[in-house]
Amino acid sequence: MRVIRYILRTDLSFIWFAGGHAARVVFLSKRFRKKSIVVVGGYEVAKVPEINYGLMLNPKSDRRVKYVLENTDLVLTVDESSKKDAINNARVNGENILAVPTGYDYEKFKAKGEKEDLILTVAYVNKGTIKRKGLETFVEAAKYLPNLKFVVVGPHYDNSIRKLKSIASGNVKFTGFVPDEELIKYYQKAKVYCQLSRYEGLPNALCEAMLCECVPVGTRYCGIPTAIG
């Protein structure tokens, strides 16, 4: 197996996300007496039945994540909320867990030009994100502010976009996928950025938008109040 060859040639394995792939690497690292670090993004330790979100809802994946968290040398979470979820949902002691927030390039994400009466949110659109990212709420809110422009930036991965468009007023725009350069321009034009999610680790788009001097509006879940605070 190729992963065995890699582990034998290295001193440390650095793994993003604590799913099944991490369990395999952590197991082999321990067997060959190598160190391992695993980064938890949030989904792995989440347990949110009302939106059917998180690996902790599935007993099989629950066991795999628990094994990873207990057997890797160091676990990094992007926010303290994810550390708490790891301890509570995966039932681990958390002694090897350290919260380290992700960083952002303030030379790339910065204010430029005049702001417009534009309210922005960024998310890929599919069946799962409509509820988890609060996209329905965002689109419905536009009806109460008809003189403002609401923009949803992000690719459409299934037919869920039809539902959003069916409830959208005329002041809502769905861009679909845009390249990074265009996304930054949206951040720079928007006065307000909305992160209306039910669950996030530390939301990248929110942090990027704030660097571009958007006024943040968000829910009180997970890493959202951390970023806004």
Torsional sign, CA 145, 217, 176, 182: positive
For residue 56, pLDDT over 90 is answered with: yes
E strand or H helix at 122, and its extent?
Answer: strand 116-122
Residues found in the chain: 229
Average of pLDDT values for 140-167? 96
pLDDT digits (tens, 9 = 90+) for 104-142: 999 999 999 999 999 999 999 999 999 999 999 999 999
pLDDT digits (tens, 9 = 90+) for 88-98: 999 999 999 99
**Residue 203 confidence (pLDDT):** 95
**Interval 167-223: pLDDT, tens:** 999 999 999 999 999 999 999 999 999 999 999 999 999 999 999 999 999 999 999
User: Does position 1 have pLDDT exceeding 80, yes or no?
Assistant: no
- The mean pLDDT of the chain is 96
Residue 64 has pLDDT above 90, yes or no: yes
The residues, any chain, with a CB within 8 Å of residue 52's CB and separated by 6 or more, are: 128
Any residues with CB less than 8 A from the CB of 107 and at least 6 apart, and which? none
- Cα 72-69-78 angle, rounded to 5 deg: 100
When pLDDT is cut at 50, 70 and 90, the band that residue 74 belongs to is very high
Q: Are 216 and 229 in contact (CB under 8 A)?
A: no
Q: Is the pLDDT of residue 153 over 90?
A: yes
Domains of the chain (ranges, CATH numbers): 2-99 (3.40.50.2000), 116-228 (3.40.50.2000)
pLDDT computed for residue 80 by the predictor? 96
Summarize pLDDT for 26-50 with one digit per residue, the tens: 999 999 999 999 999 999 999 999 9
CB-count burial class (<10 Å; 0-12, 13-18, 19+) for 175: middle
